[in-house]
């Protein structure tokens, strides 16, 4: 039977789960310092960290190429943003 998703995509998605949790933890610690107060600033920080750290993270720990690191940054940005918004809504209720 033919695979729906290529193995490389599955690998990047599985790494992005771990990487999203790491980025989310870093951002939460930065938020505690009250340096960034507006949600736009936090989103920009999330964007920058997701992409700036993705390539070295993927190369160091998973031996992925830089193109995969860019995809890792994209997937983790989507994942960590979704998780952050979910937690924010839960705290408001």
If 0-12 CB within 10 Å is exposed, 13-18 middle and 19+ buried, where does residue 7 land?
Answer: exposed
3 backbone φψ class: left, alpha, beta (φ>0; ψ -120 to 50)? beta
Output the six-digit token pair for 37.
């107060």
Its pTM surpasses 0.85: no
Domain ranges of the chain: 38-93
Render each residue's pLDDT in the chain as its tens digit; 93 residues: 457 778 888 888 888 888 988 998 998 898 888 888 888 898 899 899 999 999 999 999 999 999 999 999 998 888 766 766 666 677 676
């Amino acid at each position: 039977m033919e695979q729906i998703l290529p193995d490389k995509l599955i690998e990047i998605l599985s790494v992005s789960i771990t990487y999203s949790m790491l980025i989310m933890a870093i951002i939460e610690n930065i938020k505690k310092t009250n340096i960034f107060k507006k949600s736009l600033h936090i989103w920009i920080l999330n964007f920058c960290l997701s992409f700036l750290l993705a390539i070295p993270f993927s190369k160091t720990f998973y031996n992925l190429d830089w193109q995969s690191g860019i995809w890792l940054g994209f997937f983790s940005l989507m994942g960590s943003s979704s998780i952050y918004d979910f937690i924010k809504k839960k705290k408001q209720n």
